[in-house]
A and B are shown apart, each in its own frame.
Chain A
Amino acid sequence: MIKTIIVVGGGIGGTMTANNLVSKLYAEISRGEVRVLLISNSPWHYYKPAFMYVAFGAFYKEELRRHQASLLRPEIDFVLDQVDNFEFKQSRLRMRSGATYDYDYLVVSTGCIPSPERIEGLQEAGDHFYQHDPARKLYEKISTIEKGRIFIGVTFPKTPNVPHQCGIAPMETTLMLDEFLRKRGVRDQIEIVYTYPTISQLVRNCLFLQKQTGEVLPSVFDSKGIIHKRSFTLASVDPERKVAISEEGEEENFDILIQTPPIRAVDAVLNSGVSQAPNNEGWLPTDRYSLQLEGFENVFVMGDTVDLPISKAGGSCHNQSPVICNNIAGLMRWGKTVAEYDGKVQAVAQMGMDVGMPLWYDYDVDVIPTPATKIGGLMRKGFNRGVYWSVARGLV
């Protein structure tokens, strides 16, 4: 009987994993023993990291998306629909269209949703760059501001050890903002304040906690006149007074507030009843090594949907995908999982508009910072403008 593998989610994790599954199981697929479906609720695949560049007018919508089907190997059945209910016990998906799909193996890669509405006043008065339209709105503000104060903050999930989206993005955008405003000739009239919340200190495995990076960054900020302070955990925003209020009891005024917002899992994952995450965040309990959904041997979780202490970023998916493909193949062929995820993440951090810093880390080894260089910047540009699409296709 033919085995069905369903990948849910058309982001980078789901797309590369569907393609990688075909490579891994090509013999079985060729013999008609296995089929692979990818389900996404959008006909488009977006290069999400480019939203950060949209905020600086350096990337446009048509440049950062491709038709989802064009990124998939021909052996994959692409289904344009939305999962309404994950019925993990029955190995079944119930769809918005009314259809149902039974599966033998499932990969959940449904991402996360920025939710500024979870902090009072943030939706009205704050900005972020994690989606296209908010990034465009931010671009309009920073490309016209002449003087004032830009206040930057980071919100972490409440779930222990689960970081925010793309650990280094707030620092990247802070450095890009400095350069952007210098090019506009208004930097001297605008104060940039970078803050980090208390909760991330010591108890969170996030980038600023990472010792060596933490030691380097203040001097980088100092050299550019960027004010930086710790212990500002955003509690609420007063849009009338343009004031950000912290859990620690401080008030900070702003002309533009760039805040990494709270995040949560998508509705179908939230409603599955499987998550144990607090604050209705919905992260799925994921085995740190096999990447299986706890209690469900035939379900794997990756990317932003996991509850792992690892950056929610494409660089995580890149390392999780082969583990999942090998484990599904292992279960099908030998009845057991055969690969383990070591927490590895890699990226090229954008440390200004034209310079980059390759970085990598895993569960046990922190980022070892290297000097930001133009060669690093070229690597990042190359990834942004071309290599990414090969990664999505499972070629790199």
Chain B
Amino acid sequence: MDHHAVTASQPDQLTLFRKYASSVRRDRRLSGTSVRTLTLKSQLESQDSVTLDVRIEQGVVTELGYRVRACSLAQAITGIIAARVPGLTAPTLLAARQDLERILQDAPPADSALIWPELLVLQSAAGMPDRHEVALLPFQVLQQLLTLEENPAQQHEQE
């Protein structure tokens, strides 16, 4: 599959993709006792790393910090998630992740059914299955943080 041809035919998506990726280039870290932090690394040789800091109030993400040392896919996804905060909840995040998984399988839902239409910027990555793990990494980090919040008996802070 010629990815260059794909991206060339979708200039708006490429521009948007880069916009989201560049939005998290500058680290934004949160501090304070109410902040939870989690870092996950990909199992790939590139060891892509995503760190998220969150403030969560009653199951709703109210503030997000990030440090992304990962490929452009994870940068763009983190940028998309960051733009959806505050107000993000676990069910919304799960639905968006499921949409992304379908996009990466080259079987995207209809535009009108997408919970976050901007996820389509990742459509060109469908032909890169080796990198899908990294694309999903920001979702994985935030989902684990929300789970930890719901189950405070689990570890309060990981990094």
Contact = CB atoms under 8 A, between A and B. Distances in A.
Closest 4 A-B residue pairs measured CB to CB?
A: A278-B47, A203-B71, A160-B71, A201-B3
Given A202-B124, A203-B73, A211-B7, A160 B2 contact: no
Interface in B66-80: 69-74
Contacts of A161: 70-72
A68 B20 CA distance: 44
A213 to B, nearest CB: 11
Interface of A: 158-161, 198, 201-205, 208, 211, 214-215, 230, 276, 278-279, 285, 287-289, 307, 363-364
Given A202-B72, A211-B7, A211-B8, 19 more contacts: A158-B45, A158-B47, A161-B71, A161-B72, A198-B128, A201-B4, A202-B3, A202-B73, A202-B124, A203-B71, A203-B128, A211-B11, A211-B14, A215-B8, A230-B2, A230-B4, A285-B69, A307-B69, A363-B25
A204 B8 contact: no
A204 B72 contact: yes
Nearest to A196: B4
Contacts of B8: 211, 214-215
Contacts of A211: 7-8, 11, 14
Given A201-B128, A202-B125, A158 B49 contact: no
B45 A279 contact: yes
Given A158-B45, A288-B26, A202 B69 contact: no
B48 A160 contact: yes
Contacts of B70: 160-161
B46 A160 contact: yes
A289 B22 CA distance: 13
A204 B48 CA distance: 13
B72 A205 contact: yes
Which of A201, A214, A230, A288 has the largest number of chain B CB atoms within 10 A?
A201
A287 B69 CA distance: 11
A214 B5 CA distance: 10
A205 B17 CA distance: 12
Given A160-B48, A202-B7, A289-B26, A276 B18 contact: no
B127 to A, nearest CB: 9
A280 to B, nearest CB: 11
Contact of A158 (B22, B46, B131): B46
A204 B69 CA distance: 12
B133 to A, nearest CB: 12
Nearest to A247: B130
A364 B71 contact: no
Interface string B7-38: 11001001000100010011100000000000
18 contacts: A160-B134, A198-B128, A201-B128, A202-B73, A202-B125, A202-B128, A203-B73, A203-B125, A203-B134, A204-B71, A211-B7, A211-B14, A214-B4, A215-B8, A230-B4, A278-B46, A288-B25, A288-B26
A276 B46 CA distance: 11
Contacts of A160: 46, 48, 69-71, 74, 134
Contacts of B72: 161, 202-205
A276 B45 contact: no
B71 A363 contact: no
A201 B46 CA distance: 15
Contacts of B4: 201, 208, 214-215, 230
A163 to B, nearest CB: 12
